[in-house]
Amino acid sequence: MNTRKLIKNLWLDALALVVIGVLFIVPFIFIFLMASKTSQEASRFEFSWPSQFLLIDNISAVLAYNDNRMLLAMWNSTILTVSSVTLIVFLSALAAYIMQRRPGRVTKIASTVMLAGLVIPPAVVPTIYLLQQLSLYKTLLGLIFVEVAYGLPFAILIFRAFVGSIPRELDEAAVIDGASPLRVFLQVILPLLRSAMVTIIVVQSVGIYNDFSHPLYFLPGSQNVTVQLTLFTFISQFSSQYNLLFANAVVITIPALILFLFFQRQIVAGMTSGAVKG
């Protein structure tokens, strides 16, 4: 009886492995194979081992292409992601702390507006207009502010739930000991929000690094390119060089892969935490 069950499970395992392998692993192997071929071989779109293995050569060709444009894009994307995420974490932690501790009309209005921000899509052309008025259009700083504004609602939602689990007595005790409100926040509250912080950092980094439409709208121009746009614009530039196109895809996917290998648990927890109650 037990062995029969075991065999049945083994069958199920094997079947699932084949189905999931074909659907979810083959596309990634395909990217990897395409990125390792010569341009003639790649243009046949076949799922075959390359006759010469050129992954490294193709990647260095992509990096060097057009005056090291890819390196510029990586630099821009790094600045964009790091500064946006840093701002999101600090500003949303501050706001969430006050919103959780001081329920009242101000907080009620603020949370209604923030919740709307989770659902309603941004108004793109008016945002461009506003950025122009502030002389921030086509600047990295402008895009950073926009990304922060779009990222705040989710971060505040997560932080608020966490602040709720920190007893008020802790802040009050610190105040009695003579700490200023900012010190209470920085030295008592913030360290206790660490796990929520990791969640937000990981989730927002993935989102902002992979963001395509906002750089497309708010940061046009070849000097301002981000990694997602390199891939998009390379479609036309590399029209016959699919090997380089896919080498580009490999380059920009590596950070996601590294993040996944190290932070898988936090990512999964973070992306579900907004969704499931209890």
Partner 1 sequence: MDTQSKSRVAVGVVAAEGKKRHKGAMQIYPYWFFVPAAVLFTVFFVVPTIYAFYFSFTRWTLFDAEFIGFSNYVDFLNDPQLSSGLVHTIVYAILTSGLKVVISLPLAFLLTSALALKTLFRSIIFFPVLVSTVAVGITFSILMQPTSGLINSWLRVFGISGPDWLGDPNLALISVALVDVWKGLGIATVICIAGILAIPTDYFEAARLEGGTWVKFRYIIIPLSRNAIFSIILLSFIGGLRSFDLIWTMTHGGPGFASDVLTSVIFKQYQAGFYGLSTAGNVVLFILVTIIIYPLQTFFHRKEIEL
Contact between 245 and partner 1 by CB under 8 A: the answer reads yes
Stretch that binds partner 1, among 53-61, 68-76, 95-103, 190-198 (CB under 8 A): 95-103
Among 53, 68, 103, 112, binds partner 1 (CB under 8 A): 103
Stretch that binds partner 1, among 11-19, 58-66, 67-75, 192-200 (CB under 8 A): 11-19
Please give the single-letter amino acid code of residue 11.
W
Residues 6-14: contacts with CB under 8 Å, at least 24 apart: none
Contact between 38 and partner 1 by CB under 8 A: the answer reads no
Q: Which is nearer to partner 1, 45 or 53 (CB)?
A: 45
* Rounded Cα distance, 107 and 88, in Å: 19
Among 63, 166, 192, 271, binds partner 1 (CB under 8 A): 271
**CA separation, residue 94 to residues 35, 97, 148, 150, 276 (Å):** 45, 5, 14, 17, 24
* Rounded Cα distance, 223 and 129, in Å: 21
Q: Which is nearer to partner 1, 46 or 237 (CB)?
A: 46
Q: Which is nearer to partner 1, 161 or 256 (CB)?
A: 256
- How many binding residues for partner 1 (CB under 8 A)? 96
Among 44, 49, 191, 221, binds partner 1 (CB under 8 A): 44
- Lay out the site mask for partner 1 across 192-231 (x = CB under 8 A, - = otherwise): --------------x--xx-xx--xx---------xx--x
Among candidate residues 33, 28, 39, 26, the one with its CA nearest the CA of residue 243 = 39
Among 99, 197, 208, 244, binds partner 1 (CB under 8 A): 99
Q: Which residues of 208-239 are buried (b: 16+ CB within 10 A; e: fewer)?
A: bbbbeebbebbbeeeebbbbbbbbebbeeebe
Subset of residues 53 to 82 that bind partner 1, contact rule: CB under 8 A: none
Please give the single-letter amino acid code of residue 215.
P
Nearest distance from residue 115's CB to partner 1, in Å? 10
Contact between 236 and partner 1 by CB under 8 A: the answer reads no
Subset of residues 105 to 134 that bind partner 1, contact rule: CB under 8 A: 105-106, 110, 113-114, 117, 119-130, 132
Subset of residues 135 to 194 that bind partner 1, contact rule: CB under 8 A: 145-146, 148-150, 152-153, 156, 171-172, 175, 181, 184-185
